[in-house]
Amino acid sequence: MATWHSRGLRGSTFEDLINRTNDIYENSNLCLIQKVPTPITPINIDKDTRHITLAYFDKKSTVDYIGVVQGIPVCFDAKECHSDLFPLQNIHDHQINFMQTFEKQQGMAFFLLYFTQRDEFYYLRLEEVMRYWKRGQEGGRKSFRYEELDPDFFFHAKPGIFVPYLDPLQKDLSMRDA
C-alpha cells in the first residue's frame, strides 16, 4: 500500500512552481486552473499540531490539474525527471484513459515535464505520449529519451512566470487547428 511518507511529496517543488504560475495566470485573466487534490485517508495525526503524519491514498488520481484557458478545457499532469530517460511507468493507464476521454470531449490534455538536471521544462502532448506508449506496449522501449522529444516544446522560466506553459499550449493548439 502506498503511503504519504513514501510517495506523497515527490514533485512538490515543481507543483509549487506550477501553482504559483496558475495564480499569476488567473490574476491576469488568462485562465483558471485548479490543482486536483489527491484523496487520502489519514492514519496518524499529531495531536499537538493536528497535522497528518501518515496517510494512504484512497484511490487512483486522474491528473494533477484541470481547468479552462480562454474557453478551452485543459487537463494536465506534472512529472519530474531526474535524468535524460523518462520511464513510462511514471504514467499510469488510468491517466492515459482519462486524458483520452477528456480529449474526446474537445479538451486538451498534456503533461508538463521538468528535467531537473537540465533545469528545463517540456510540454508533452498527449499525441506524443501515445507514440511512446504504443511502442512500449508493442514490445519496444518502455521509456523515452530527452533526445527524442520535439525541440519546439522545450521552454524555460520567464521573468515573473515560473512555468510559462501557455506558450507551448498555444503551439499545440495551432498544430491541432492546422
Q: Can you say which residues are annotated as belonging to the binding site for Mg(2+)? A: 62, 64, 77, 95
Cell numbers that stand for 88 in this block: 513510462
How far apart are alpha carbons 167 and 176 in whole angstroms?
Answer: 15
Cβ-in-10-Å burial (0-12, 13-18, 19+) of 116 comes to middle
Binding-site positions: 62, 64, 77, 95
Q: Are 47 and 59 in contact (CB under 8 A)?
A: no
Give the three cell numbers for residue 127: 499525441
Round to whole Å and give the CA distance between 178 and 174: 6
Which cell goes with 100? Answer: 483520452
Residue 53 neighbours by CB distance under 10 Å: 12
Q: Which residues have a Cβ under 8 Å from the Cβ of 13 and sit 6 or more positions away?
A: none
